[in-house]
């Protein structure tokens, strides 16, 4: 995300500010959801549902602002349909859909293993990761399960939990997405 912000800073100031606002929103949302999920094992709809609209508008706006800038590489203001149906907009929406469906299937297969709040949060994280690309979608998802698994091993090894212990998965989803956003080049 840092590299993407750097690219936008030089070429598309409007896109830069929209993407930066999306990042700031992600940070606040992630902090709030992490605290609530750790304390109450809950990802409240009052935070998750508005995040779809906020992240969607900001990230699609950043992609549109960049895509519609005339730069001699085939993008121009007359190609407005490409923003919604072309690569940038499609990747954002597809990332949300793919992660939502993936987590929904996991929930359907083993309902005790994952709450529906995690499914709803997955779509929001898919917006952010899809904005950066499919590699980020896969890496963010993998990192979430890796971090959650490591935490589970630590709990079992320290005898503070068992294989049946419920752990809040939302913080690991958010941490995995943040790690992919910060560590992988866009």
State the pLDDT at residue 77: 46
pLDDT of 86 over the 70 cut: no
Which residues are within 8 A (CB) of 177 and not within 5 positions of it... i.e. 6 or more apart? Answer: 125, 128, 129, 140, 143, 144
pLDDT of 78 over the 60 cut: no
Classify residue 74: in a domain, yes or no: no
Which tens digit of pLDDT belongs to each residue from 25-57? 999 999 999 999 999 999 999 999 999 999 999
Is the Cα dihedral 16, 177, 2, 95 positive or negative? negative
**Cα–Cα distance between 144 and 178 in angstroms, integer?**
10
Q: What is the largest CA-CA distance in the chain?
A: 62
pLDDT of 85 over the 60 cut: no
Domain tally, the chain: 1
Give 14's pLDDT tier (boundaries 50, 70, 90).
very high
Give 65's pLDDT tier (boundaries 50, 70, 90).
confident
State the pLDDT at residue 87: 63
pTM, two decimal places: 0.90
**Cα–Cα distance between 63 and 175 in angstroms, integer?**
24
Distances (CA, A) of 67 to 61, 80, 172: 10, 9, 32
pLDDT, averaged across the chain: 89
State the pLDDT at residue 83: 45
Domain with 145, as residue range(s), is 2-69+79-183
pLDDT of 151 over the 90 cut: yes
Question: Comparing 141 with 79, which gets the higher pLDDT?
Answer: 141
pLDDT of 90 over the 60 cut: yes
Selection from 171, 97, 172, 85 nearest residue 127 by Cα: 97
């Amino acid at each position: 995300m840092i590299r993407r912000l750097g690219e936008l800073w030089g070429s598309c100031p409007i896109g830069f500010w929209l993407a930066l606002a999306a990042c700031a929103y992600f940070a606040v949302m992630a902090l709030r959801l992490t605290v609530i999920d750790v304390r109450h094992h809950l990802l409240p709809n009052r935070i998750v549902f508005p995040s779809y609209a906020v992240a969607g508008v900001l990230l699609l706006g950043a992609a549109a602002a960049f895509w519609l800038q005339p730069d001699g590489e085939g993008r121009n203001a007359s190609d407005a349909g490409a923003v919604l149906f072309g690569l940038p907009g499609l990747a954002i929406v597809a990332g949300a859909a793919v992660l939502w469906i993936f987590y929904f299937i996991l929930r359907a297969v083993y309902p005790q293993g994952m709450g529906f709040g995690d499914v709803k949060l997955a779509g929001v994280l898919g917006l952010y990761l899809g904005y950066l690309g499919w590699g980020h979608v896969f890496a963010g998802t993998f990192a979430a399960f890796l971090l959650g698994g490591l935490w589970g091993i630590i709990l079992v090894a320290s005898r503070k939990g068992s294989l049946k212990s419920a752990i809040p998965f939302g913080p690991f989803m958010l941490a995995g997405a943040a790690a992919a956003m910060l560590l992988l080049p866009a």
